[in-house]
Chains A and B, each alone.
Chain A
Amino acid sequence: AQSVTQLDSQVPVFEEAPVELRCNYSSSVSVYLFWYVQYPNQGLQLLLKYLSGSTLVKGINGFEAEFNKSQTSFHLRKPSVHISDTAEYFCAVSGDYKLSFGAGTTVTVRA
């Protein structure tokens, strides 16, 4: 079984400032890690994924995440956010045929 903990439920940030969303996971098997984004009143879209190889993963819209096996973390970062990045972000871990999601982090970008 696997589980995901997103350490921040709300992250307010000013436009053009950097943002980091923290995600820790636990699993008894090898895992694959994902970040999804949900814009208001929409379904989820994939931001990026870690399957294997380089621990630094780049995704869409300037986001990147780093897989840290020793700390069981997969934090998401963006160096400069835009108003359009206002959304809810979900970290997810895949293993044993199932994808488990964290509770989500709401990012609100202010001008």
Chain B
Amino acid sequence: NAGVTQTPKFQVLKTGQSMTLQCAQDMNHEYMSWYRQDPGMGLRLIHYSVGAGITDQGEVPNGYNVSRSTTEDFPLRLLSAAPSQTSVYFCASSLGQGVSGANVLTFGAGSRLTVL
């Protein structure tokens, strides 16, 4: 199994450009999420989805959009890139987060984005 696949691995954008970070998982996981990682701040949740057609905001959603049309895919869209969005982005999935939160996240390898 491939697990969680993120593309692209690296991307450089100019301020104001838009782009989509792709995330796909082949484990039939219900729960998918996007995090950004910045030095000294750990990982912060951007958006998450508990199933196809259902998405919700995390801690830092501004400037990002998501959709979940299929179980497998959870793309993250930057509408108008800003230098503050320079970061490493991780997609993660689990069988189901649920109230118990007992399911473990499987992470992708990350996408490093630089906005000039």
- Residues of chain A at the chain B interface (Cβ within 8 Å): 4, 6, 9, 31-32, 34, 42-46, 49, 51, 90, 94-104
Question: In the complex, which residues of chain A have a beta carbon less than 8 angstroms from the beta carbon of B53?
Answer: none
- Given the interface pairs A94-B97, A102-B42, the reply to whether A34 lies near B90 with Cβ below 8 Å is no
Residue from B92, B99, B101, B107 having most chain A Cβ neighbours under 10 A: B101
Contact B43 A101 (CB under 8 A): yes
Could you list 11 further interchain pairs (A-B, Cβ under 8 angstroms) beyond the known A32-B100, A32-B101, A43-B109? A4-B42, A31-B101, A44-B92, A44-B105, A46-B105, A51-B100, A90-B42, A97-B99, A97-B101, A100-B45, A102-B42
B104 contact from A34, A42, A101, A104, Cβ within 8 A: A34
- Number of contacts between A and B (CB, 8 Å)? 63
Contact A104 B109 (CB under 8 A): no
Residue of B nearest to A102 (CB): B42
For chain A, what secondary structure do more than half of its interface residues adopt (helix, strand, loop), or is it mixed?
strand
Question: In the complex, which residues of chain B have a beta carbon less than 8 angstroms from the beta carbon of A99?
Answer: 33, 45, 97, 101, 105
Contact A42 B98 (CB under 8 A): no
Residue from A43, A51, A103 having most chain B Cβ neighbours under 10 A: A43
